[in-house]
Chain A
Amino acid sequence: MKFKKKRASVKQDIPTASLPDIVFMLLLFFMVATQLREVDVLVQFSLPEAEFIEKIENKRLVSYVWVGRDERIQINDSIVRQEEIRDIMYRKRVELPNVIVSFRVDKNANMGVVTDIQQELRKADARRINYSSLLKR
């Protein structure tokens, strides 16, 4: 006896012509969202935790200042001395008038170094700051 396979007589193709378009769309999104140049963080730090934190919507405006647990200060890619902060920040502010300076400070650092940086920022007139912290659970 011969068995006949039941098979629909209509075509069974999934149209893949638009697949590249969809993929390209996704690709474009990730290309735009990617920033390749990540800064090497040279200082060791662990962020403090806080409850009432806000998000910074505009990542483009953010410029980071790291302070490690040994109280070294890093801006951009290098460790800087305290006297250099003002010039660097002033230049940043000229490029980006409403720059937000985000402090990534180790939670056991002393306030002295933070106060000094803040004073320098005030002199450079880069006055919008943010104390980077994680959400407390």
Chain B
Amino acid sequence: MLAFTLRRALQAIGVMLAVGVIAFSMFRFAGDPVNQMVSLDTPAAEREQVRKSLGLDDPVMVQFARYFANAAQFKFGISYQFRQPVSTLLMERMPATLELATCATIFAMVFGILMGVYTALRRDTWLAKVFQAVSLIGISLPTFLIGILLIYLFAVTLGWLPSFGRGEVVKFGWWSTGLLTVSGLKAIIMPSITLGLFQMTLIMRLVRAEMLEVLRTDYIRFARARGLTTRAIHFGHALKNTLVPVITVVGLQFGSVIAFAIITETVFQWPGMGLMFVQAVQNVDIPIMAAYLLMVSLIFVTINLVVDILYTVVDPRLRSTVGRAH
């Protein structure tokens, strides 16, 4: 178990190093950083000065080591557009993205599992067929179209929900939350649905398929032969066995949710990391792009690691085989 965890942790560090090389290469070689920092009519001598002060004359390996050491302390340089430290900008926007991603995931899990269980257990009802149709649409419609559709319906036509922004936020130290104000809660509904819809259909399909699979197994037949109640069989036995792969997928997808928040945040002008990243791409703000890549990779890698470990906790079979294998 410990050896397994350690090996996964080493793999995670390897991935982070690889991403670090890419981020550094972007920072260093994609365009001249000096040109971004000085105006066009800056004299050559002054440019040299800036180059020196940035350490761009040092050997590449030294620069890389410095970049990495800085990144490890969450120092990602200065944003070209905002003339502010990237880490400050990221910190400001991270709570918005994490809250949105969390709400979207909760929405996706709750509805995905409910709909998946329902469509598996009541396969032939009309409601199950409606759910199936919704899932087809959820997988085929582009995210931004869903967002636009929701805005048109609930903001423009009905006027129930705000069409952009986070509403009022409350500050706790550096963390700002919109979950404690009415306007904040109202503001997060549509973005969460937009962002979570794809995950929801994914979870629904997975739960349905897994549940049908599990209901065919011998231990479910034996559970019925033992005279257990239908409720105990469906929700005690079948659902628990179904949830093992579902947890894995939901966990692994959390990183994707954060990445896909780029689109949702743009549609709803949600002041998160994704919106900042899109603006950085539009304005070629390399330090922000590199930092975002590193941050998202870190989140991805951490989640993968946590899910791997969590998986062994949920499934006792894995726990002992993993322990035995090493």
Is the pairing of A and B real?
no
